[in-house]
Structure 1
Amino acid sequence: MHSFYGIDHVQLAGPAGCEDEARRFFGDILSMEEIEKPEALKRNGGVWFRCGSNQVHIGIDKNFVPAKKAHPAIHVQNLAALKERIVSHGIHVQDDELLPGSDRFYVDDPFGNRLELLEWRE
């Protein structure tokens, strides 16, 4: 019998040459730590980040189209502070109050991929 540990990483796509912009958004603005990619995968481009005990990978897609509906939901501690930080960089957030017991909002990464950021109320 098998069992699941959880999700190891989520891969989002970006256009060729997007690494610096991904570093600015995921690293500088969201404060995710960049993870060095394995040597064998560096030639593919893209960049990886630590997100709690999981990872967010930005992969290069030569036929890139942003994900507008499918999205990762990232659990955040002190969501209000992160929201303030994102807005202070001139990035639009979309508030959502439809999930009972949570505070959450959506934001697009620089490539148009949808991200959900949420914090559960106690």
Structure 2
Amino acid sequence: MGIRVEWDNDEKTVIRYVYEERWTWEDLHYARSQVREWLDTVDHRVDVIVDVRNSRLVPNGVLAQGRMFASNAPIAHRNEGHTIVVGANSLMRSMFEMFGKVYSRLSDKLELEFASSLEEAREKLRRYQESAG
């Protein structure tokens, strides 16, 4: 499996996608469906870390996949909070920014930003969670 999904903490307030060097769109769709199932099991906000530090290649078909995601609205789950992408190279950053623009038209809940390390992402989410109270 090219994308692994795991809870990032025992409180189940952060989910982490971990991308391997090679992954497929099928891997992403499977991981996303797994996350949606997990989000259904909690009754609180869950932030997301997308860890792409090990991934260097984006599969073909980015534009087609963007259209497919856009046609499957709603994108964001009711419990989904901030999303922080860790370790994105310039191509991946562009891809995530494109998806963010597509998602923003469909859901006002998508809050996407970038971090260079897992520690930085966790710190940003900690600050968001503290300010939410």
Report which structure shows greater RCO (CA 8 Å, sep ≥6): 1
- For the pair shown, the structure with the greater C-alpha radius of gyration is 1
Q: TM-score w.r.t. structure 2 length?
A: 0.28
Q: TM-score w.r.t. structure 1 length?
A: 0.29
Higher helix share: 2
Higher strand share: 1
